[in-house]
Amino acid sequence: MKELKILYLYPDILELYGDFGNIQVLRYRLEQRGIKATVVPYSIGDTPPNFSDFDLVFAGRRC
């Protein structure tokens, strides 16, 4: 099975418009296609991630 690692930036700060739901749908659709999706949340105060470890970086939006 293929794997896609997703870095989810600031889910606690930018989760205003259903972004967590978007991540869940993305994971579901990938897994339906035989691709394992690993979502790693990152927020302020966490150890900074190595961006090269991830295939996709997702950031919500704040208006």
SS3 sequence, the chain?
A: CEEEEEEEECHHHHCCCCHHHHHHHHHHHHHHCCEEEEEEEECCCCCCCCHHHCCEEEECCCC
CB 61 within 8 A of CB 12: no
User: Which of the pair, 62 or 16, is modelled with greater confidence?
Assistant: 16
| Number of domains present in the structure of the chain | 1
pLDDT digits (tens, 9 = 90+) for 15-48: 667 788 889 999 999 999 999 999 999 999 999 9
Provide the token pair at 44: 């302020």
Q: What range defines the domain where residue 7 resides?
A: 2-45+53-59
pTM exceeds 0.85, yes or no: no
**pLDDT score for 20:** 85
